[in-house]
Structure 1
């Protein structure tokens, strides 16, 4: 499964997208993300399954049943 990884260096900073990793499950993605993106001393790092991301703009918006409804 592909995961997108976000991190920040200092508490209070915004999370930034630092890259992605492939991992077989949520447990192993923690290890994979830490070892892949170990060049910084991150305050916080999170991984989100790519298929859980919600499209806000772009082609996927046209498929949303809520677009244009009010």
Structure 2
């Protein structure tokens, strides 16, 4: 499963998208995300399953494949 990872360096700052990781489940993604994005001393880091992201606005190009429902 693909997860999008968001993090912040200091308390009170906004979370920023730092990348994504593939992991088999929510428990393992914690280790994968910490290991993959260990270049900073993050105050907070979260991982969101890509399939759970809700698109609010935007236009897809006609040639784009449909989103996966995994």
**If the length of structure 1 is used for normalisation, what is the TM-score?**
0.83
Following TM superposition, the consecutive aligned residue runs of length 4 or more in structure 1 with deviations greater than 3 angstroms are none
Gaps of 5+ in 2: 61-70
Q: Greater Rg, structure 1 or structure 2? A: 1
1:15-53 deviation digits (Å, cap 9, x = unpaired):
000000000000000000000000000000000000000
Q: How many residues align?
A: 60
Gaps of 5+ in 1: 61-70
More helix by share: 1
Q: Please, what is the CA RMSD of the aligned residues?
A: 1.0
